[in-house]
C-alpha cells in the first residue's frame, strides 16, 4: 500500500475519532492523546497530520465553509426578501445534514470562533445575519438574526430522534421564517 494512501487514511481516522469525541464530550474536554487513542495511533502521528487540536476542528468544519459559500453564491443576485427565504431553507438543510458537525460547536462556539483555524468558517458565515434579516444591519435586526441562528442550531441538536429529518427541517424552517418575516415584509432593507 503506498505511503500516501496510508497517510491519507490515518488522517481520516484522526478526523473521524476527533469528530466523535468532540461530539460526545465537547471540544475542551478532549485531549490530543484521547484523539490518538481513539484513532489507534500515537499522539505524534496526530501531530504529524495536524499542528494543533483546533486545526483538527478547522478541518472538520471545512464542509460547512463550502456549504456557506454555496449558499452565498445562490443568493448573490436575489432581492433581499427572496434571499432571506433561500437562506432560511438552506441554512436549516445544512444544520440537519451536518448535525454532527454543528453539535461539536454547541458548547464552545464563542471562544472557538476567535481561533485562527476557525477564521475560514467565520468569514464564510459572516453573510448570515444580514441575509437572514433581508439586508438590515441595525443592531436589533442583527441580534434577532443571531438568536435565530442559535435557536435553529439548538432545535436541530435536540433529541428529536422520533421526528424524521424532513419533518424536523420543515418545523425549524417554519419557526425561523416566522421569526424573521417582519424584516422582509414590513421594512425596506437598510444597506448601510
**What is the distance between the alpha carbons of residues 191 and 169, in angstroms, rounded to a whole number?**
30
Q: pLDDT at position 161, please?
A: 76
Q: How confident is the model at residue 4 (pLDDT cuts 50, 70, 90)?
A: very low
pLDDT at 127 over 90: yes
**What is the distance between the alpha carbons of residues 124 and 70, in angstroms, rounded to a whole number?**
10
Q: pLDDT at position 153, please?
A: 85
Condensed to tens digits (0 to 9), the pLDDT of residues 82-102 reads 999 999 999 999 999 988 888
Pairwise pLDDT comparison (44 vs 1), residue with the higher score: 44
Total Cβ atoms within 10 A of residue 158: 9
pLDDT at 191 over 60: no
| CA 166 vs CA 127, 154, 160: distances in Å | 25, 17, 12
**What is the DSSP secondary-structure string of the chain?**
--HHHHHHHHHHHHHHHHHHHHHHH-GGG--HHHHHHHHTS-HHHHHHH-SSHHHHHHHHTHHHHHHHHHHHHHHTTS-HHHHHHHHHHHHHHHHHHTHHHHHHHTTTHHHHTTSGGGHHHHHHHTTHHHHHTTT--SHHHHHHHHHHHHHHHHHHHS--TTS-HHHHHHHHHHHHHHHHHHHHHTSPPP--
Q: pLDDT at position 64, please?
A: 94
pLDDT at 1 over 70: no
The domains of the chain, with CATH numbers, are 3-53 (1.10.10.60), 61-185 (1.10.357)
Amino acid at each position: 500500500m503506498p505511503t500516501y494512501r496510508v497517510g491519507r487514511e490515518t488522517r481520516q481516522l484522526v478526523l473521524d475519532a476527533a469528530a466523535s469525541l468532540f461530539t460526545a464530550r465537547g471540544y475542551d474536554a478532549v485531549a490530543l492523546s484521547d484523539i490518538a487513542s481513539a484513532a489507534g495511533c500515537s499522539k505524534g502521528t496526530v501531530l504529524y497530520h495536524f499542528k494543533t487540536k483546533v486545526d483538527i476542528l478547522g478541518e472538520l468544519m471545512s464542509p460547512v465553509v463550502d456549504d456557506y459559500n454555496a449558499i452565498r453564491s445562490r443568493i448573490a443576485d436575489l432581492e433581499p426578501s427572496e434571499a432571506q427565504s433561500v437562506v432560511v431553507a438552506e441554512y436549516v438543510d445544512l444544520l440537519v445534514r451536518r448535525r454532527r458537525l454543528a453539535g461539536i460547536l454547541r458548547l464552545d462556539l464563542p471562544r472557538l470562533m476567535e481561533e485562527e483555524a476557525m477564521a475560514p468558517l467565520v468569514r464564510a458565515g459572516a453573510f448570515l445575519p444580514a441575509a437572514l434579516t433581508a439586508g438590515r444591519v441595525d443592531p436589533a435586526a442583527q441580534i434577532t438574526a443571531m438568536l435565530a441562528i442559535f435557536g435553529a442550531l439548538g432545535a436541530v441538536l435536540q433529541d428529536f430522534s422520533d421526528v424524521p429529518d424532513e419533518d424536523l427541517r420543515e418545523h425549524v424552517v417554519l419557526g425561523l421564517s416566522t421569526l424573521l418575516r417582519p424584516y422582509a415584509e414590513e421594512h425596506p432593507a437598510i444597506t448601510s
